[in-house]
Amino acid sequence: MLLVFRIILLKDVEYISGYTNEVGEAFRSQVPVRLVYLSYGIASCYVVADAIHKGYAQYKKKHKTKQEKFERVSIATGDCLIWQGFASVAIPGFTINRLCTYLGVALKRGTRFSAPVRHWTTTIIGLICIPFIVKPIDNAVEYSMNKTLRKFYSTDDKSSASNLDS
């Protein structure tokens, strides 16, 4: 039972850690900027850990030659690192940052809300938007990588970052 609890807890930590920078951006108007930077550090650690995991999963598979093994591990790790970097950190962080910034400016210019009300409003709306931006961003990054980088290497064994969610 304890093992099941640990697995569930670790899976939730892994899942949540990928979204820390979006949460940090939503809270940017509420907290010191160092905490926002810390949220990016946590999300980046998740990206690196996931890339290592994908590379290791590919490493454990049987390959015909050492060269093929090296290539497959490199592709799996690099593909995941790039995909996760864009889909989990860069684009979602930028999206929530801009959303909250523009919303904060609009509330300041268009309402008579006090500063705390404006800040909490932007934070809450930023947090609410996180689940709605994930799938479109993931799909856009997947499409973009398929049309650009992945044309230079084969991911026909479904080793791309978005397909190896094990």
Going by pLDDT thresholds of 50, 70 and 90, the confidence category of residue 12 is low
DSSP-derived secondary structure for 59-95 = HHS--SSHHHHHHHHHHHHHHHHHHHIIIIIIHHHHH
Residue with tokens 């989990």: 88
| 72-86 residue pLDDT tens | 999 999 999 999 999
Q: Is pTM beyond 0.85 here?
A: no
